Amino acid sequence: MGLFEDYHPLKGKMFQIMKPDGTILPEVKAPLTDQETVDLYRKMLFIRLADQRALMLQRQGRMGTYAPIWGQEACQVGSAAVLQKGDWVFPAFRELGAALIMGIPLETIFLYWMGNEEGSRSPEGINVLPVSIPVGTHPLHAVGVAWAGKLKGDKIVTVAYFGDGATSKGDFHEAMNFAGVFKAPAIFFCQNNQFAISVPRKIQTASQTIAQKAIAYGMDGIQVDGNDLFAVYTATKEAAEKARSGEGPTLIEGVTYRFGPHTTADDPTKYRKDQEIEPWKPLDPMVRLRLYLKEKGLWNEEIEQRLSEEAQKEIDQVVKEAEAVASPNVEEIFKYVYAEMTPPLKEQLEYLKSTLDKNVNRKA
């Protein structure tokens, strides 16, 4: 039997390879070499430190509202690491990790959260769409691109990332239905971090798991320990291989936890108590991976300090460069809506410019 048969959602089993103490389950083996694991740990550490810096920048008034990734690094790194050139990623608004793994520069990501539209521009050849703030709408886009790729004969895979809250939106179900019918090479990756803003998972859906929602749409579904880098990597790799071979889409539910606020505009103390967080702390994906590497003699405090210093130095430079970028012109609000500006947009632009000119003259 294959992975998706062994861990069919109705069997009530969660796929796991690495236990919280860093040891590997006896019946499985690590899917990555030691060097590959060290490389991904380094990237996860960089992502966590960049995430912390973004949070500080927002609190200092140097960045707009930001959605922290803290605790969800394994979900994003493990899944994005299996993708190939030509594949597509459709992020929600908490996908710092996936974007960096796909090759989006940190400066670009910081520019987005600083309110600069240049932050929505992916480098040539990197198929990562801009942040999607509306909850649950982008899986439709992922399915559309997957279907187009199938019609063209391209062996691409698309991945849509979203949270548990998105599975309550109609767009999610429409996307799942379309993908199931047309066997689109799409992966739906739900990062079940236990809260949709302030709404806990238990009153978000009556389903025992989110993974079982796949059954109604004729696709494979699997619940994965989302804090286990190896399990996420393995499940996504199999889903991607299945999609490329024409066997259709997969829904992956990565069970994880959001340690921080939903966004910096949120106060989680209003809807959860500190003691609720405590059981999740030993399950932190970074803690687990450190224990695994330490047992192999590949991690210690000295290595951690060196890697952290290297990352902080790079992040410092990125912040400096991002803050040095000139503010966009007012024309850019209207310029890129269509290939050519429509008469109403031109009219609105002229009105705004004249209003701004009047304000400047008034202050003078």
CA dist., res. 221 & res. 209, Å (int): 10
**Residue 338 pLDDT greater than 70, yes or no:** yes
Q: Which helix (H) or strand (E) holds 255?
A: strand 250-255
Residue 327 pLDDT level (bands cut at 50, 70, 90): confident
Rounded to two decimals, the pTM is: 0.94
Residue 364 pLDDT level (bands cut at 50, 70, 90): low
Amino acid letter at 217? Y
Q: Would residue 271 show up in a list of annotated catalytic residues for this protein?
A: yes
DSSP secondary structure, 1-13, as one string: --HHHHT-GGGT-
CA dist., res. 125 & res. 360, Å (int): 42
Q: So what's the pLDDT on residue 336?
A: 82
CA dist., res. 138 & res. 97, Å (int): 18
- What's the token pair of residue 256? 């994880």
pLDDT in tens, 6-30: 999 999 999 999 999 999 999 889 9
- Summary count for the chain: helices (H), strands (E): 13, 7
pLDDT in tens, 48-97: 999 999 999 999 999 999 999 999 999 999 999 999 999 999 999 999 99
What residue ranges do the domains of the chain occupy? 3-328, 330-364
CA dist., res. 198 & res. 185, Å (int): 33
CB atoms within 10 A of CB 152: 8
Architecture of domain 3-328: 3-Layer(aba) Sandwich (3.40)
- Among 53, 82, 58, 83, smallest CA distance to 70 is for 53
Length of the chain: 364
Q: Say whether 204 sits in a helix, a strand or coil.
A: coil
Catalytic residue among 94, 258, 288, 290: 258
pLDDT in tens, 184-242: 999 999 999 999 999 999 998 999 999 999 999 999 999 999 999 999 999 999 999 99
**Residue 180 pLDDT greater than 80, yes or no:** yes
Q: So what's the pLDDT on residue 361?
A: 72
Catalytic residue among 48, 94, 262, 288: 262
**Residue 298 pLDDT greater than 80, yes or no:** yes
Of the ranges 83-92, 110-119, 241-250, 327-336, which one carries the lowest mean pLDDT score? 327-336
